[in-house]
Amino acid sequence: MNRIGIIGNGVAAITAAREIRKQDESVNIDIFTDEHHYYYPRPKLLEYISGQKTEEQIIQYDKDWYDKQNINLHQAEPVLDLVIDSKSILTQSNSYFNYDKILIAVGSNPFVPPIHGADKRGVYVLRTLDDALSIKESIQGEGREIIVGGGILGIELAVSMTRAGGNPIVLSNIDSLLPAQLDHGASGVLLKRLEEMGMTILRGFLCNQVLGHEVVTGVESTSGDKVKGDMVVVATGVRPNIELATRAGLTIGSGRGILVDKFMRTSEPDIFAAGDCTEWNGESLGIIPVALETAKVAAKNIINEESEIYDGTTPSNTLQVAGIDLTSFGQFNPQSPEFESIVSVDEETGTYFKAVVKEHVVVGGIALGNRKVAMKLRRLMRSKEDISEKRSEIFEI
């Protein structure tokens, strides 16, 4: 094998490139990205917006890294199409590149709900460094920043904007925060702590339209409630980026990700995919652990066919939300009667602990406010230890 083409320059693409180079020092590797920046971790964009880091400081791998890895980086070179028969990549400059194997690692796109007027000036999404540059420039003095979406990104973005001198308000269309990471009880504890920190969160606000003629002046809900502001950031989640794969005729899964098998192969055996854009076993989980693991499996199989199998990633989130430690893992909010939940809440300290047990074994949990408790619960889940005699002390550290 002589040449490998990687489409994308995010965490999955970079992880795969590193793994490929580790296994084969001589194979040619080309990376194509529509951005003109070198590699940066997307979570660092929030630190740039807050002013904690400069643009240069969030770049993790600069030109020297690509040169040392002997990787050809094609910046600002969007891939328009894949020619399956010849295993070729067609780029925006009308250039064709031929490869033995191709990896698609194009991540996901921001999901923007059908909000009337979302195309007005002053409406943003946050996915790229260029997005972050625009948002940071727009945070000014007396105006109010409206964040549509009460997920992790929305809350963290509000923290970053506050640090940058803004006055944000978070609008959530449901009554609880972080439904993908927390149960209702933990969500209530988190909300109380965030409000005590001075964060403004308006729940049950389903945004219907962006107000203003050409420039944002606020938003309106489906029930007619209005919030004034001169800037809107839509942070309502992401969807797998399948545009290129669809044009190429690759199979798309029922969950709307690029369908891959246990070797990370697509419906074309010499084209692989990894990261947020993929769907495996009916799942499309846009989380970093999945990006890392699928990228490593894809890389190993690109070099040595069917040498590594992907058997799934246990959903796990270990984060700091506005400086508050938050971990959820496994089956943390099951709805079936064969599961039992052990819960401890301390409103004074703002902690919430939950262990989900099935047949005397921890199968999931939540730890809000204490990372050591999280580590203990995850250790119990991994060891599959019988906790019958330890129920009363399960949260002790």
Close Cβ partners of 203 (under 8 Å, ≥ 6 residues apart): 150, 172, 174, 175, 176, 177, 191
- By three-state DSSP, how is residue 150 classified? coil
3: amino acid identity, one letter: R
In whole angstroms, what is the distance from residue 224 CA to residue 221 CA?
5
For residue 354, what are the β-bridge partners? 343, 366
Domains 3-109+238-303 and 316-393 in one fold: no
Tokens of 275: 């990261």
CATH H-level superfamily of 3-109+238-303? FAD/NAD(P)-binding domain (3.50.50.60)
Domain boundaries, the chain: 3-109+238-303, 123-234, 316-393
Q: pLDDT per position in the chain (397 positions), as tens?
A: 799 999 999 999 999 999 999 999 999 999 999 999 999 999 999 999 999 999 999 999 999 999 999 999 999 999 999 999 999 999 999 999 999 999 999 999 999 999 999 999 999 999 999 999 999 999 975 689 999 999 889 999 999 999 999 999 999 999 888 888 899 999 999 999 999 888 999 999 999 999 999 999 999 999 999 999 999 999 999 999 999 999 999 999 998 999 999 999 999 999 999 999 999 999 998 889 999 999 999 999 999 999 999 999 877 777 777 788 999 999 999 989 999 999 999 988 899 999 999 999 999 999 999 999 999 999 999 999 999 999 999 999 8
**pLDDT attached to residue 392:** 92
254: amino acid identity, one letter: S
**pLDDT attached to residue 95:** 94
The correct answer on CATH 3.30.390.30 for the domain covering 316-393 is: yes
In whole angstroms, what is the distance from residue 271 CA to residue 117 CA?
39
Tokens of 189: 């504890």
Q: Identify the architecture of domain 123-234 in CATH.
A: 3-Layer(bba) Sandwich (3.50)
In whole angstroms, what is the distance from residue 136 CA to residue 318 CA?
26
- Do 279 and 240 touch, CB atoms closer than 8 A? yes
